[in-house]
Chain A
């Protein structure tokens, strides 16, 4: 058959020969072409679908099949874009960065290889989703909690590799990763850390092993294909108390963040807590048209009505306490006293929330590692359900949080978009994740979203704020903002790329890292 698009520089004959080889390796039914490829498009692309289209997808079932596929890809020069659950929505979904790239779909590799309750870890294949792992722990009655992002339909391995975040004390997913098995571009396979020692039983216990620590270079990267990964799981604590604190005024953000920093740095706030903007919380239960039908951002009068209707604040902090009750009592006392200094702060437990579908009741589940889909309904805010994530990082500093907020809010308002965001509180930093919500059936909205996103990347970088992750449309632009010393980091990344993947077959363009073969066109 004639594919809709070919990998760059490949003849149709060579491509079809490569597909035949892929079919021999994984089986006819696991090489997808034609209409079956609709599952590999980005539903939220702001650009023409053709820019990210794939001619085929290949779904191996084992590391050995991955090795064989990679060898064929090397032989023919077929670029491969690796996905696991393919739920990287807002950042490109399952779609490849470069048109003509074949998707290497690892969803069939969904084995839970080991759970160790005593030491608190799991060894997983990349196709294991948060739902899979949660179900397994429940069915086996294992007293371990996982840490989930929201929504929880993605891959545990994939999310850690993208350096995603969750909401329990184990919320920094890559920090909780320990040990990898990686298929390299030449078809070789290696294990990292203690896994490199044949008889070691500490592969999932000690991250660093001996010599240079390699795992980091396989995250947000295109240097290898991770086929197994260890992830630490949290022992079920003896107590758990989720809570919410609402703040009434826009300008409270600065003080809230200042109060937050010492609490987080001193580990009084134990989990990866979040501070959520009014409309992100409201969007779980309401839509914009229920409050405002005109153009432009939501007016203050509508914001006040939303706050009253949903009993939420302009900013809403969701945290949780974990441990023995006396410990939680002390931590709560300190936390409550600190936030009570913010005028108008209100404190809630889930039982005190009056609406059945209240966000705190959902967060009470996600902050103890129960994967859900409910909060994905924020994408309905404007109707038509499109979203893309803009995610600059800053210190946990009130003035800087306020500066970022005003900068993004005003720029979005200029283009007619509302401000929906979450400040995810890291160990020392804020991930300010702004959800740019647009009607994906409206070409003009998409055009405006694309334009304002590019402007925000530039303006944020000029102020010193870099994105921790981005959509495939903006990977090159964001990579270029990390430009210290004439782009020394990108040049180092390209050097590694050329050494590890000289034919440039693994995920070309991922995070702005292009192999030499495509570098001029990237």
Chain B
């Protein structure tokens, strides 16, 4: 947590912020904050991203711990999801006489 980057900043000090804006809603990525530790990250996240509305919950994660897909690999990585027609309801034939399926 104390390695410094080229600009003398601590590597661990960038956090991604996810806010649940109302009960039942998913947490949504709101942006990022700088903070020396998790408690300060939560407080900064509240001050920056929760000044309006009725926020229910905030998650903060050090940015370095997020693993993400890369745009260059997106097509092959997601390829299997799009061409299996049998995953879609329209593929299946239901007799017209059956109502409200």
Partners in one complex: no
B residues contacting A by CB (< 8 A) are none
A residues contacting B by CB (< 8 A) are none
